[in-house]
Structure 1
Amino acid sequence: MSAPPPEFPWFLPRDSDMARRVHGFDWGNTSLGPLDGWRPALCHALAALMRSPAPMGLFHGREGILLYNDAYKAIAGLRHPQVFGQPVLAAWPEVADFNRHVLDTVFAGGALSFHDVHVVLNRSDAPQDAWLHIDFSPLVDDTATVAGVMFVITDTTARKEAEATLASEAATLQDRVNQRTAELLRTQDALRQSQKMEAIGNLTGGVAHDFNNLLQVISGNLQLLAEDVHGSERGERRVRNAMAGVARGSKLATQLLAFGRRQPLAPKVVNVGRFVRNMDDLLRRTLGEGIEVETVVAGGLWNTLIDPGNVENALLNLALNARDAMDGQGRLTIEAGNAYLDASYVDTLDDVAAGQYVLLAVTDTGHGIDAQTMDKVFEPFFTTKPEGRGTGLGLSMVYGFVKQSGGHIKLYSEPGHGTTVKLYLPRTTQSEDIIVDVDTGPLTGGSETILVAEDDEAVRDTVVAMLADLGYRVLKARDAPSALSIIDSGIPIDLLFTDVVMPGALKSPELARKARERLPGISVLFTSGYTENSIVHGGRLDEGVELLSKPYSRETLARKLRQMLSGHARRQDGGPATVAPPPANSPPAIRVVRVLVVEDDWLVRTTVAEMLQLRGHEVFEAADAARALEVLAEQPVDVLVSDVSLPGMSGVELVAEARARHPGLAAVYATGHAHADGVQPDARTLVLVKPYGSEALNQALARLFPPPGVGRPATAPGP
């Protein structure tokens, strides 16, 4: 081994790793030769290399003998010290091409710089990604000849990681900005849509009141005129044509109110599957033989709280649109099933809540809708049908009705592949309501007294003439204070028929409340061309409110009045009233009472309620004790007809709780056993054994509430 020159130790601290390596290195076995053969310029370069705190190294000679300092070894994490003093091309064959390029370029007199070079450093613990800045420059000896390549390394990993973090945060921030921007745009779109809907609603509502009042005057007088021209074919035809025009005007106003979400809804608990099946015959007749109608109803279908008339109109509108799209030939599929809209879906929507829905889907095999048209189909007055074949209000009406009901509507279509319209109607856990069609049966009038409160003189005169023509005794008032004065006069009044929108400080709902205070047995029927918010809240009629929308026909008015008057007999003192003497061969007269039927089986409950209603009683229904107590808190009730076995609280416990709150309450227990445990029949308590018929039920009520002139027995016997 050749000893280093005497001057060598002065530039290399003896305690450094590189010093030990340099002093102990066998320089004679390399092309470098012994250190004492180095020229002073190279020795100074090596001294600067070894003393530098920066990672540095050099490739000596054309072979690129590798020399480096402690800082370079620290950053590179070299595991094999023997690479020191070895040719660089052999030390790292995997990057030999790169290092050869460096040697050739620098020995040719050039310099190289590489910025942010991504490398994987073989540290002792594990491979590690790093980013380095490397400068290669010529190493010149005393004769100005290039003797090697000097390189200096700057670790830019921290800066690159900071830049990456900053870029990631900037991207995240940009994503958030984009998200917020999208939300803002959606909010702005929703606001514009809401403002548009509000404008349409206000415009429609403002016009509808006066427009429907005019239609009512025209309609009423035409119907009265029909009696005068009876027998004249020409006169009857002209009246029919004019009435058809009234009907079209009324439908137009209704459709606009529906789109503007201003129509008064009277929701019922409906099983859509049964509803669709009941419409099957109607749809087949309406669509014609060329359309094949298929209905698919899923098992376990939930109930929905919806206005039956509006959902029927919506389904009919969709079916007619499908028929036109199929040119009268094709297949119409109506599906009903359960659906769930999750948060990720409704997050992109503005007025839809996540949760459970009942899905009603209508699919046709028509020509479909293109993307440009899809954005406009729910707009009012937009139609692709030829002039004269459509108003453009059908789908907009469906859209407004579904939205007002708290649901969601989605349309899927592709040109040449048909269209599917999906209605998502909110689910309810309530029991299904039994919907009775009151617009059937013979048209009859009556002899009761009706007070008409209407500020429009023409409308008032028309409705008074119609009521008088039906046989009723009619009182009239031009405003609410005048109507209240008539009520305060003591004249017996069976029904108050009042317009919703009336001038003056006393509004119609307040008039109705005061009328019921003074005449507890009076019935109240509202009418209006536009209800505003006085009896409609949340798009729905207030509980217990009866409304007849203008314009109405003589037949509709007559049936509505009979429906109300037969179920709400006039009460003079707040107690059970007396029914008018029955005709010959009818069942014995009984007292009309208010009955609360509590039965968890909806079929039994509905049957019992119908038995009672046929005898003129006012009936309330409840499926369990909790609902029954709510009804008792809201309505005056004379007798409780309750099943003994109820979910939660038994019928016996219910009666005990009810009597604690209403001591005078009579009770009829219904049971499938011979007796009811814990029940002792008395003057206020009876037991009915199932199955029982209408006669047994009414006899039980007759014992509890004898007709006038018949005394109540001290102890009422069992059935």
Structure 2
Amino acid sequence: MDAKRTAAGDPGWSFLSGGGELARLIADFDWSTTPLGPIENWPSSLRTAVGLMLRSSVPIVTLWGEDGIMIYNDAYSGFAGGRHPWLLGTKVREGWAEVADFNDHVMKVGLAGGTLAYADQELTLHRHGRPEQVWMNLDYSPVPGEDGQPAGVIAIVVETTGKVRAERELRVAAEALAQLNAELEQRVEERTRDRDRMWRLSTDIMLVAGFDGRIEAVNPAWTTLLGWTEEELIGRDFTELLHPEDAATTRAEVGRLAEGVTTLRFENRYRRRDGGYRWLSWTAVPDEHFIHAVGRDIQAEKEQAATLLQTEDALRQSQKMEAVGQLTGGIAHDFNNLLAGITGSLELLGTRLAQGRMQDATRYMTAARGAASRAAALTHRLLAFARRQTLDPRPTDANRLVQGMEELIRRTVGPAVAVEVVQGAGLWTTLVDPNQLENALLNLCINARDAMPDGGRITVETANRRLDERAARSRDLPPGPFVSVCVSDTGTGMTPEVAARAFDPFFTTKPIGQGTGLGLSMIYGFVRQSGGQVRIYSEPGQGTTVCLYLPRHGGAEEPVPASAPAAAPRAEQGETVLVVDDEPTVRMLVTEVLEELGYTPIEAGDGAEGLRVLRSDTRVDLLISDVGLPGGMNGRQLADAGRALRPGLPVLFITGYAENAVVGNGRMEPGMHVLTKPFAMDTLAGRIRAIIAGG
């Protein structure tokens, strides 16, 4: 309603006061577009009728003039449904076009001074865009105009659809009841006969028992399956017949039945009369006093399942041995080549030394060291595939890592391949070994280059990915936040068969001598060991995308420490290093390096011997320990015990096989470092000096 008019107390609008939502709509409506004209010109008879109608809680509509212009109250707007507020101000014959003839009769009678009343009048209305059958009580009365003659019709509309339908249904939820009552005794009798027949003839055993276990009734199947007679069972506690291993779980299930919970497919073993046991699967329901249960014999199913399990175990073992055979064959081939290079070089080196021909010594040593380095790289790849490599996970910004590698990638793939880097905004931090991630990214880019012999485009893209249940399930990951690092190419692509085997060790589509088949398997192992996943998306001729999904880390990036200097400075006076390794050759090499640098080495062959040194008063500036040690104490346990005795003691783990529970899964404590075997002696020397200086 116009706030200015009401504030001024305009008597021409006072009939709308207190009229609810429809009063506001009537005040805002442009009545000059209707035969009624502006509200200011409405006759007092119309204003009075509208004012009374608006204050009523009963659905009322005023139909004014020959056309029956519709003005209604709030209650009627609910009855109008989806046609409100469009109905306001319309002609009744047009507003309710589906019942135009009915309303035409109403207007003729009302304007002639007559009244109409209908009880449960059936009509079909389109209130919500579709026809619906309704019933209503309708009362129509004429409204006199200024001259005393009927000028309009007022209609009171009360919908009775619910009542009519309920009454009809009651007459029908009554006729059916009478018929049911007539048949009830016959059905009860038939069902009783059927139940008794099922009780007697069922091959499933049936039981009625109290919640205390006392048997009240059993069917003949007990005798057929278990050998017990009815006389032997009635009054007995059925828990006495349970297999000892099933007694506790069965009593717990009875407790749930006592609480009103239905039992479905509960399995246990019951003793036969001859002393053996038989597997049964129970369905049971409780009532106020008893348990009613049916037990199905599943002994044959259990035996078949046991046989199937044995067969599956045998098949898995066979498949495992086949895979081991394939893996061993590939390893043996590569290692035999490498060993041939090492042993041959050493043999020739010995011959030349015996001949006094020292000029060839350097060449043979270089060849042997090169073959040894390739062997070390092969073991690292195998450990990566097996998810057993030594990882040093750190909070890492993948955007910064990719940016730092961009120039290296461009130089590696060459000028024929365009490289595009798309960095995700606000990229989350991930906990990962940055060196391994760099290796994985470089390998993927090299694979992408090889898939584009005529050139093309490589796209490296990072993004935040929040995986819901469905997306996580498709990637074999738990739901949650992940960082994705994807490498895409425009190359030859892969067939589904090749993509399915891409992560298999030693599988490669490259010509002999151009690939080991360990690149993708190494990446897969590294990512899975880091708690992530790798997925390949490829189509022949359409290129390939390989995505690494790495779990989000809550902390900030941790910078990678600078590498140790190439030249290792000499030790300071009295600096002592404890070397713990069960391999005498390794201890010898490490102690010789330490002595050359001026350190005082102390050797120990196992954790217990090393711990005795740490418990003594001997000076120890650094602990160097293998991770895998004999005697029940591994390297990590030794380090933890040593740090409890000597807080802040620097530790360098040396390992050829990473025990993940000790080093690989999770971050090491400050002051703990790891060096993977095999390693160059100058690398070891540099790490020792850097750790002691840093400590």
The structure with the largest helix share of the pair is 2
Q: Which has the higher contact order (CA 8 A, sep 6+)?
A: 1
